[in-house]
Amino acid sequence: MTDVSNTPTSSTAPAALVSAGSPEAAALVAHPRGAQPDQPGDRSAFGFEVVRRLDPTADGLGRDGVRHGRAGILHTPHGDIQTPAFVPVATQATMKAMLPEQLVDLGAQCTLANAFHLFERPGEDILDEAGGLAKFMNWNGPTFTDSGGFQVMSLGVGFKKTLAMDVTGLKSDDIIAKGKERLAFVDEDGVTFKSPLNGDIHRFSAEISMGIQHKLGADIMFSFDELTTLMNTRSYQEESVERTYRWAKRCVAEHQRLTAERTGKPYQALFGVVQGANYEDLRRHAAQQIASLDFDGVGIGGAIEKRLLGNTCAWICDEMPELRPRHVLGIAAVDDIFAGVENGGDTFDCVAPARTARNGAIYTRDGRWNVLRTALKHDFRPLEEGCDCYTCTHYSRAYLHHLLKSREMSGCTLATIHNERFFVKLLDDIRASIVGGYFDEFRDETLTRFYANGSRG
């Protein structure tokens, strides 16, 4: 592996590491880096530096066998993120069934909230008045907001919480909900949609998404893009990539205007999103388009066929400037995490660990299993032997079984704490393996153990 710890890769980024929950992070909520009265946010408060890269291999998926995986440090106005890192999803400025203090305790470095849901309620003006997302939710650390593109897309197609990564045997109706009322319609300027809360008609565009996200005040925002499914035709994917590029240019222009206009605020980084489904030429073309614009980082988005996840990340990273951080949107299967990291992903978010926890699905090093199984009613062991999370050090499988069967909220809390800790620690351990030079061995050992019993995780 390539050690670049002594290589100056981001000359303007602050050197000190700040972790969520630390006294330094608490100070940054009140006085974020790069915020000066009557001045636009200082862009130098955001930056990325590489600590160590994976060595190329004969079967590396990048050009000439390059593996784009690396360990690094992402500097933001509200603190630093050591990467690779898992980003817990606090959709509505909170993670369901958990407090921000509990996220800090399980080692989370950052959170991601959803622009669409916060626009719906309480409204972006409320968060702006509160001093931004971090202050509003009492989170002493970096924050992300997505653009709302996924939620708007889901109103118009499948009404699903996730996108299929394997379409073998599926019909278009399994993804695109034919015969149901479409709640969103895409045109060249943006998307018109009907609110699932009250039926009101709303409009999202590049400029509107940027305006909402600037008021939400996250450290990292994403450009407004059109998210397609694997069931869309090749011709539509081509049209969508070009439309997303046109929207991306508008996002950059509006972002720059708002940054200059909203003085006294910390700089908010803007990531462009690369689409193109599972087509290599479209992904590379879209990545080149996004790389040509003045973005701070890149989001690897859209529907990605599971077998091509690593390839897709590699194609995109081949075309991107190395010092732009890369966020992989909506990925949390254990094998997908390793494929994403190895091929260039720096940060990852997904709602799956928390959502499945509320239904009793528990992630462990030995696979995913369900605590609601009848046999566990009499099992007084922790969810996972050796796990250091609050749940495993205080409660038993039998107790979690009882709480979730009884539909007690505390059951959702305890199960979510464990699952979120599993993924936060998995990415921490992957980072340590890159820095320590044993990534390949750690990957093979972890995946062999996790999937030994046919786990779906």
What is the tens place of the pLDDT at every residue in 175-211? 555 555 656 788 899 888 888 888 888 899 999 999 9
Beta-bridge mates of residue 167:
none
Is position 275 annotated in a ligand binding site? yes
The answer to whether residue 345 is domain-embedded is: yes
**Residue bearing the bigger pLDDT, 148 or 82:** 82
**Residue bearing the bigger pLDDT, 347 or 168:** 347
pLDDT at 158: 43
Helix residue ranges per DSSP H, 55-160: 100-105, 115-120, 124-130, 133-136, 149-156
Least confident span in 4-8, 61-65, 416-420: 4-8
Give percent above pLDDT 70 in the chain.
Answer: 90
pLDDT at 98: 97
283 shares its domain with 222:
yes
pLDDT at 202: 87
pLDDT at 11: 39
195 shares its domain with 231:
yes
Alpha-carbon span 26 to 446, nearest angstrom: 35
Q: Are 79 and 46 in contact (CB under 8 A)?
A: no
pLDDT at 156: 57
375 shares its domain with 271:
no
pLDDT at 109: 98
Identify whether 84 is preceded by a cis peptide bond (ω within 30 of 0).
Answer: yes
pLDDT at 194: 81
Helix residue ranges per DSSP H, 32-99: none
The answer to whether residue 61 is domain-embedded is: no
Give percent above pLDDT 90 in the chain.
Answer: 78
Domain of residue 427: give its range: 351-457
Task: Kindly state the average pLDDT of the residues 85-89.
Answer: 98
Residues carrying an active site annotation: 146, 349
296 shares its domain with 439:
no
Cβ-proximal residues to 388 (8 Å cutoff; 6+ apart), any chain: 421, 425
**Listed residue (109, 123, 134) closest to 27, CA to CA:** 134
Is position 251 annotated in a ligand binding site? no
| Element holding 145 (H helix, E strand) | strand 143-146
Is position 313 annotated in a ligand binding site? no
What is the tens place of the pLDDT at every residue in 232-244? 889 989 999 999 9
- Domain of 307, CATH number, reads 3.20.20.105
- The distance of Cα 101 from the centroid of its chain, to the nearest Å, equals 20
Is position 457 annotated in a ligand binding site? no
pLDDT at 173: 46
The answer to whether residue 17 is domain-embedded is: no
325 shares its domain with 396:
no
What is the tens place of the pLDDT at every residue in 4-43? 754 434 434 444 688 888 888 889 998 999 999 999 999 9
Long-range contacts of 453-456, Cβ-Cβ distance < 8 Å, separation of 24 or more: 453/366, 453/367, 454/367, 455/366, 455/367, 455/368, 455/369, 456/368
368 shares its domain with 333:
no
The answer to whether residue 314 is domain-embedded is: yes
299 shares its domain with 327:
yes
Is position 110 annotated in a ligand binding site? no
pLDDT at 13: 43
pLDDT at 170: 59
Cβ-proximal residues to 250 (8 Å cutoff; 6+ apart), any chain: 205, 206, 207
| Element holding 431 (H helix, E strand) | helix 409-436
| 431 band by pLDDT with thresholds 50, 70 and 90 | very high
Is position 235 annotated in a ligand binding site? no
**Residue bearing the bigger pLDDT, 432 or 304:** 432
What is the sign of the dihedral through the CA atoms of 337, 352, 349 and 251?
Answer: positive
| 141 band by pLDDT with thresholds 50, 70 and 90 | very high
Mean pLDDT of the chain: 91
Alpha-carbon span 208 to 213, nearest angstrom: 9
Is position 39 annotated in a ligand binding site? no
394 shares its domain with 338:
no
The answer to whether residue 64 is domain-embedded is: no
The answer to whether residue 101 is domain-embedded is: yes
Cβ-proximal residues to 150 (8 Å cutoff; 6+ apart), any chain: 116, 227, 329, 330
pLDDT at 184: 75
Is position 455 annotated in a ligand binding site? no
Residue 162 has pLDDT above 70, yes or no: no
pLDDT at 7: 43
Is position 148 annotated in a ligand binding site? yes
pLDDT at 159: 43
Is position 418 annotated in a ligand binding site? yes
Alpha-carbon span 80 to 19, nearest angstrom: 6
324 shares its domain with 420:
no
| Domain endpoint, select from 350, 366, 382 | 350
Alpha-carbon span 334 to 197, nearest angstrom: 34
Kind of pairing between the strands at 70-76 and 79-83: antiparallel
Cβ-proximal residues to 407 (8 Å cutoff; 6+ apart), any chain: none
Is position 423 annotated in a ligand binding site? no
The answer to whether residue 25 is domain-embedded is: no
| Domain endpoint, select from 350, 369, 395 | 350
| 157 band by pLDDT with thresholds 50, 70 and 90 | low
Is position 433 annotated in a ligand binding site? no
| Domain endpoint, select from 308, 326, 350 | 350
pLDDT at 409: 98
97 shares its domain with 216:
yes
229 shares its domain with 363:
no
pLDDT at 185: 80
The answer to whether residue 445 is domain-embedded is: yes
pLDDT at 10: 44
pLDDT at 169: 64
When divided into structural domains, the chain yields a total of 2
